[in-house]
Structure 1
Amino acid sequence: MQSPNNNHHQQAQNSSHTSTTRSSDSGEPSAPNNKWASTLLKECAKAISDKDSTKIHHLLWMLNELASPYGDCDQKLASYFLQALFCKATESGQRCYKTLTSVAEKSNSFDSARKLILKFQEVSPWTTFGHVAANGAILEALDGEKNLHIIDISNTLCTQWPTLLESLATRTDETPHLKLTVVVTASTVKSVIKEIGQRMEKFARLMGVPFEFHVRSDYLGELTKEKLCVSEDEAIAINCIGALRRVAVEERSSVIELFRSLNPKVVTIVEEEADFSSNRDDFVKCFEECLRFYTLYFEMLEESFMPTSNERLMLERECSRSIVRVLACELEENIEGECAERREKGSQWSERMKAAFSPVGFSDDVVDDVKALLKRYRAGWGLMQGDGHEDQTGLYLTWKEEAVVWASAWK
């Protein structure tokens, strides 16, 4: 089976107008504009699950003819999911993932990464929503404390912290001492973290906040209290943004227990609202959930960025790595200490957290800050509050009434 060529740009453009009338395997022509990519991709996932090699070849060929990473939303989804399906069919997921990561690391510089993150934050609240909610909860929980220690387990290049430093600098009482320990869980961030630390120290001096910066590069399942250098006189906040999904499902409870042993004033958790965990043994179901989530994400990018945006293309390529990781890498294949991104929804995380912590409702002030943030963006974004039932807590960012990101606070 030959590797699909994703750069059939002209072919895809030429054939995209025919794609909506192409016959499906049932012999019936598809209706116009019925999201052809989703239909063909699901059929291909089912064929792979059924080990129907004739059908697999036929659908991979058809998708390859229509897909393009430079086309419309359907062509892009077809392109990136085709790559994952091909890897799954040929059992080449781990090799492909390593190659994609290696390419990303080579092209990664502090300036390009920072520019990408800031541009994304400018056009979409996807990441800033979690920052505002978490910062609000952290500032309220640590109010009045003199020695603060924030353990930041995220890969957001510290873009969350300048606004928190500003808030600390403008406190009416004495400015506290802040120790920030960043736990890096993505290999692409390790190459730029030193420069980030220097920038943070410079900014803290400018703000007049006494500041210490530390970095840990441990796999989360191997973190200990000693490695995090926690002192008795520190008020601790643990901030997890998109990081817990990188912990193996069976290790999540022990990581949460580690958090509890640190006796934090608050734990903030922000995760994207998708479930690649409970259905991991059923390839078709896992594929459909993955396709549902990334279709929302790609449609959001399409509406937020200019069609020719280089930043948008970079964000989509980042997704291609995750898609291959989720769909085509075996669970036991631990790549450089990272496990596959087995995401869970807010309700699932809540259940885990309630074994060790109690939920902290976001105050009206924090909710108002989040609402004010969303007003800065285009129409389509909304806020939904967990209704306080057994399995629901926190805040949800919604895109066109679909929950996409969940934020919560715990004590």
Structure 2
Amino acid sequence: MLFDEPDLDLDPGHILDWLEDSMPSLPSLLDDLYGSTDISDDWWGSDPFEAINISTSNSAENLASPVSSTFTSSPVDAFLVYDEPQEPVPVSDVSKKRKAPDDHIQMTQTAPQAKRSNGNKKGNGKSTKENSNSGNNKGGRWAEQLLNPCASAISSGNVTRVQHLLFVLQELASPTGDANYRLASHGMQALLHHISSATNTPAKVMTPAITFAASTPKFFQKSLINFNDINPWFTIPNNIANNAILQVLSEQDQKSCKTLHILDIGVSHGFQWPTLLEALSRRPGGPPPLVRLTVVPPTLDNHQIPFANCPPGYDSASNIYRFAKNLNINLQINRLDNCPLQSLNSQVISSSPDETLIVCAQFRLHNLNHTKPENRTDFLKLMRNMDPQAVILTDNNMDCSCTSCSSFDTRFSLNLDYLWCFLDSTSVAFKGREMEERKLLEGEAAKALINTCEMNQKKEKWGERMNGVGFVENAFAEDVVDQARALLKKYDSHWEMRVDEKDGSVGLWWKGQSVSFCSLWKIDAKTSDSYSV
């Protein structure tokens, strides 16, 4: 295959095999890339910033390229789209800028001037300076203008473009600074991970990202408490889920004293439940005679699922038990370790007809395969056969990024967009401060770039699947939505809640971009009693 004749249907692994065959010095590239900016490897050529003439006759990848054919000054200038002519800036100045505090970073020389978001702002919180200067306007998101073309070059087989973009990214990427620098850092490491995993060659990383599993229980707990207090990414879905559980209980006969059984398939790590227990203790007539909490953590082989794993030794049950005891609530917690979701049934979770079973599935079901094998629909059928009184489904509201639905560069772009939203919101939440807690949460979110199980779907697709196995969507009660809106007011004003008038689901948005959805489902009385899997 020639450089100017890329195979548009090429499997991501094929290009990497080709890279390995064409350039036997690839391992030294992966080593040298982080060791020094003085690249002497023959693969780079004598001058990585000299003029590069890229053929446009046979390369579809170059048709959409914003890259100039020659480099005149800073390497980043050749890869960015400008709203208006910009003055060149030396590479040394760019390096200095990436180390400046968030509030003082000026992107006028290295990236387009960001504009204020046009999204509806429902919250009443104050917007920070950084929030105003680097929103979801694509013009201000210069890191994606380097990372996405690099992923496209890998897919199309343009090795010259790959090497050049990696070099520019290495100059700009930083685990500190504003969201663009951090996105460049995480994105570049994901691209190198993709190359090294396919060629079986180790790649060094600039700064290994901190993740939940690599942290200590104490730091993990402290970080999540702080994050939930300043960012509603999980707090609002948890609040809606808890109040939806109360809504389901209020619809039952108050005289029927049933056990409340919650099947927890989520990422809250126990932080969601004290608020619910407190609300149950204040119910007219008191709490249920027994509250059962069955927790299903990810299996050991699913360690790359963002936000789902916890550090070794972390135990939330003891704290929840102590809290429940103070409220005089009879609580029972059962943890099903290393139990695949496809293995769940009424017997495994020990449910019975005389209890109120509510399934709370949050940010986990999108990791189930939806092609071959069709684990996703199979699990929904299993869940239907458990005969729950309600299912609360919360997940990312984005298109699928699995290998069956899209190419590598498309998958990478979708997950990059998701990560930008998270990094931008954490920049605002932490007010630009460089804190280890922020690095932990961002390192966990960045796992989406390399997790092969990121098989998201839009809420409409989830609705079709749920309807297909015998569920019907219910609207959240008015007080459920009102309480969530009231809680959202404590956060930055760029956060927004939107209620879908058609199905009653609730969406969480950041600067006009959809982040997640929450939906409430009950068994359709018109369907049969069970579904075969």
TM-score (normalised: structure 2)? 0.67
For the pair shown, the structure with the greater C-alpha radius of gyration is 2
What corresponds to 2:345 in structure 1?
A: 224
Instruction: Give 1:223 shift.
Output: 2.2
Distance in 1 of aligned mates of 2:209 and 2:173: 24
Q: What are the equivalent positions in structure 2 for 1:33-182 lying under 5 Å apart?
A: 33-34=111-112, 35-92=141-198, 104=211, 107-143=214-250, 144=254, 145-176=257-288, 177-182=290-295
Aligned AA (2:272)? Q
Query: What is the letter of the counterpart of residue 114 of structure 1?
Result: Q
Quote the residue 1:330 is aligned against. Answer: none
- The offset of 1:344, in angstroms, is 1.6
Identity, % of aligned positions: 28
Amino acid at match of 1:223: L
One-letter amino acid matched to 1:285:
T
The CA distance in 1 between the partners of 2:483 and 2:200, in whole Å, is 42
Which structure is higher in helix share? 1
> CA distance change for structure 1 residues 45 and 128 in 2, over 3 Å: closer, same or farther?
same
Q: What is the CA-CA distance between 1:104 and the residue it aligns to?
A: 3.8
Are the aligned partners of 2:499 and 2:506 in contact in 1 as well (CA < 8 Å)? yes
**Among 237, 245, 253, the residue aligned to 2:377:** 253
Cα deviations across residues 135-184 of structure 1 (Å, max 9, x unaligned)?
A: 11111112335211000001211111111101111112142110000000
Q: Select the residue among 340, 349, 352 that pairs with 2:462.
A: 349
Return the offset for 1:83.
1.1
Q: Does the residue aligned with 1:179 lie in a helix, a strand or coil?
A: strand
Residue 130 of structure 2 is matched in structure 1 by: none
- Report the secondary structure of 1:189's partner residue: coil
1:305 to 409, 422, 430: 430
Which residue in 1 is equivalent to 2:421? 296
Q: Tell me what 2:103 maps to.
A: none
Match of 2:410 in 1: 285
CA gap of 1:128–1:96, structure 2 versus 1, over 3 A, is farther
Pick from 303, 318, 328: which aligns with 1:198? 318
Q: Is the 8 A contact 2:341 2:379 kept in 1?
A: yes
Give the 3 Å change call, closer, same or farther, for CA 360–102 of structure 1 in structure 2: same
The question of whether the paired residues in 1 share the 8 Å contact of 2:422 and 2:442 is answered with no
Amino acid at match of 2:436: N
Query: CA offset at residue 221 of structure 1?
Result: 2.2
Task: Indicate if the aligned counterparts of 1:275 and 1:345 stay in contact, CA closer than 8 A.
Answer: yes
Give the deviation of 1:76 after TM superposition.
0.9
- Following TM superposition, by how much is the alpha carbon of 1:256 offset from its aligned partner in structure 2, in angstroms? 0.7
Residues 6 and 69 in structure 1, CA contact (< 8 A), matched pair in contact too: no
Q: Letter of the 1:110 partner, please give it.
A: P
Match of 1:263 among 359, 365, 387: 387
Q: Which residue of 1 aligns with 2:30?
A: 3
Post-superposition CA distance 1:20-73 (Å, at most 9, x none)? 8622399xx985423331111111011101012222122112211211111321
Deviations 1:191-222 (A, max 9, x none): 345x2111111111111111101001212123
Aligned twin of 2:364: 243
SS at match of 1:141: helix
Residue 318 of structure 1 corresponds to 444
User: Could you say if the C-alpha distance between residues 350 and 277 of structure 1 is closer, same or farther in structure 2, counting changes exceeding 3 Å?
Assistant: farther
Kept in 1: contact 2:401–2:410 (CA 8 A): no
Aligned residues: 386
Question: C-alpha separation between the residues in 2 aligned to 1:122 and 1:228?
Answer: 32
Q: Could you say which residue in structure 2 is the equivalent of 1:333?
A: none
Which residue among 453, 473, 493 is the counterpart of 1:379? Answer: 493
Note the C-alpha offset of 1:108.
Answer: 2.6
- Judge conservation of contact 1:83–1:324 (CA < 8 Å) in 2: no
- SS of 1:396's equivalent in the other structure is strand
CA offsets, 1:77-122, max 9 Å, x none? 111111111122333599989x999974663332222111111111
> RMSD over aligned Cα, in angstroms?
3.1
Distance 1:93 1:197 in 2: 43
TM-aligned CA deviation for residue 370 of structure 1? 0.7
Q: 1:360 aligns with which of 474, 482, 502?
A: 474
Q: Is the 8 A contact 2:345 2:386 kept in 1?
A: no
- Matched letter for residue 59 of structure 1: L
Contact preservation (8 Å) 2:280, 2:286? no
Q: What per-residue deviation string (whole Å, max 9, x for no partner) do you get for residues 300-334 of structure 1?
A: 111111321221111111122221224xxxxxxxx
8 Å CA contact retained: 2:173, 2:181? yes
- C-alpha change, 1:234 and 1:79, in structure 2 (3 Å) is same
